[in-house]
Amino acid sequence: MRREPAWLTVLTATGLGLWLVVAIFPFLWMILISFRSPVDAFSVPPELFAPFTLENFRRIWLVDGFWHYGISTLVVTFFTVLISLGIGCLAGYALSRYGGMLGFWLLLGALVFRAMPHVVLLTAYKPAFFELGLWSRYETLIIVYVAINQPFTIWMLRSFFVNIPRELDEAALGNYLGQSRHMDKLMLGIAGAVSITLPLIVLVLLFQKYLVSGLTQGAVKG
Amino acid sequence: MRRGTFLAFVAPSLVAMLLLIAVPLAGVAWIAVHNSHVETALAEVTTEVPMFGGVTRKVTRLVPQPVLDEAGEAITTWEYVGGAEIARAAELERVGEALTRDRGDLPITEKLSGVHSDIVNLDFWDALEFTLLYTFLTTPFVLGIGFALALAVNRVTERLRGTLVFATLLPMIITPVVSALSIYWLFIDDAVISSLLQQMGFEKLYFLGSELTIRSIIIFHGVWSATPFAFILLYAGLQTVPHETLEAARVDGANRWQATWAVTVPHLAPLFAVIALIHLMDAYRVFEPILVFGSSVYANSLQHLTYFVLAFQDNIHKAAAYALLTVAGIVILLIPVLRHTWREQKGLG
């Protein structure tokens, strides 16, 4: 490689430095004021140094029962990821191996479904779930999350399976009782897909928490 | 793979999507073209009204009461209204008024701005305007800044990269409500940003008190929270750019920018398209910042408007009408993409 000119290094460093401040500062400030009493947290003008207190944390953990919400989130997330990956892997694998038009239409449909604003679905869920008596239940929330995440999940898993050569499938199928070297490779491929997808799906789940759970789960938590 | 096997494999996923996405969509369309009311009839109701000193008086009045069926449930009547509810939700009548209103002989620009301000006075059009503004203003920044960051991090020594990537991803990893709050707290009156600017000699600013500033902040939040996503995909993409081609371009006399522009950007073009598409879908359903900033007066979004009607006005027909219009909007935005994919598929087949 050629030597980098100095101005480029300066530009890179300044740009990255500026971005880091913008990216992190809001969170740093939030952490800072979380250790203050309300008066100090929103003092006018804001101070960089103020008395330190853990009172806010004591209150949300011990008085307000914040861990209830934490457990709700964990339970819902765990089962959603489990079911999403289960049925998503099947569909993703089939989509990567099937050549017909049906697969194309399914992917195109999933793309349109991916674009649906969730409040649209909520408008239908609300009267329907009330009528069926399913409103405000963990099972309902999990199934809804699984369904609205399927478009993204199958697109993603399909693109992983496309990269695993087809010959491996057959070799693995032929030999799965004998030498299992190929099976190992296939399994590794699947494991790789799952391990990369898993955190991403968890992320996506955390992302859309508010809107849907705000209505379907509010009562469970409250 | 045979068709039967394929269908068996995709069945669970397909059923989930049909049952919880396709059927609800059809349901929303159905609710939007219907109207419902609880059947009432006037009935004599006798109540004891207290007067004084424990003396009561019996009063009988004619009061509308819900009509009950045999099971004791109130009877709700559904009635087909066609596009009436949708037209009312979009306030088409008042849009027509705004367009045809006599504005005297003002210059054409002022007439147009008059029409514009009359139309965005209506809930739906106001939300539509900001949703589109947000979608199209954030997209170029997200792509541009994301790409610049990817190029920059790619040049940094290996040792620092992990930390940099993590720090860069923070605004995306944190849930939207919390990340919106963290920005909100910086901009409330007399908070960090406002007092910093005051110390630097600017006038006192009320960021949350005017349309321009609050819209800018929400758009800033949009760029800030979506850029990491573009960054991480482009950063991964940069690792696959062929080194030899880049070197060859440099040897042929291309400078740094030309090499980036002629080799790296075309190589990453499909990735740019995917990021733009996903960001478009996500930006169109912006919701959390509107909620956190409480900005629906100055900057509302279609999703927030529908949510508000559904949750607080409890009017499912109006909400369904808004929802249907929201879907129409995203489908129109997606048409170019769908057509492109369709052509590509036909070319292959």
CA angle in degrees (0–180, nearest 5) for B220-B129-B30 = 120
- Could you tell me how many CB contacts below 8 A there are between chain A and chain B? 217
What is the overall mean pLDDT for chain A? 79
Q: Is the pLDDT of residue A216 over 60?
A: no
pLDDT tens by residue, A102-130: 998 999 899 999 998 888 998 899 888 88
- Return the higher-pLDDT residue of B133 and B68: B133
Query: What value of ipTM does the predicted structure carry?
Result: 0.82
Domains of chain B, each with CATH number or no CATH? 63-121 (no CATH), 129-348 (1.10.3720.10)
Q: Is B1 in CB contact (< 8 Å) with chain A?
A: yes
Q: Is B224 in CB contact (< 8 Å) with chain A?
A: yes
- Which residues does A41 contact at the CB level (< 8 Å), separation at least 6? A33, A34, A50
Asked if A216 and A140 touch (Cβ cutoff 8 Å), the reply is yes
Per-residue model confidence (pLDDT) at position A174: 62
**In Å, how far is B284's CA from the nearest CA of chain A?**
8
Three-state DSSP class for residue B149: helix
Least confident of A192-206, B237-251, B312-326: A192-206
For chain B, the residue count is 349
pLDDT tens by residue, B200-232: 888 888 888 889 999 999 999 999 999 999 998
Question: CA–CA separation, B318 vs B88, rounded Å?
Answer: 8
Cβ neighbours around B134 below 10 Å, total: 23
Distances (CA, A) of B276 to A122, B135, B140: 26, 10, 8
**In Å, how far is B1's CA from the nearest CA of chain A?**
5
What is the overall mean pLDDT for chain B? 89
Among A8, A91, A151, select the one facing B9 at the smallest CB separation.
Answer: A91
The residue in chain B having the minimum alpha-carbon distance to the alpha carbon of residue A45 is B190
For chain A, the residue count is 222
Residues of A in Cβ contact (< 8 Å) with B23 = 124
Side-chain half-sphere exposure of B71, counting CA atoms within 13 A: 3
The residue in chain B having the minimum alpha-carbon distance to the alpha carbon of residue A22 is B224
pLDDT tens by residue, A134-193: 888 888 888 998 999 899 889 888 887 887 777 777 666 665 545 445 555 666 666 666
Question: CA–CA separation, B86 vs B343, rounded Å?
Answer: 33
pLDDT tens by residue, A204-213: 555 445 555 5
Cβ neighbours around B338 below 10 Å, total: 13
Domains of chain A, each with CATH number or no CATH? 6-60 (no CATH), 65-221 (1.10.3720.10)
Residue B77: both structure tokens together: 């009547």
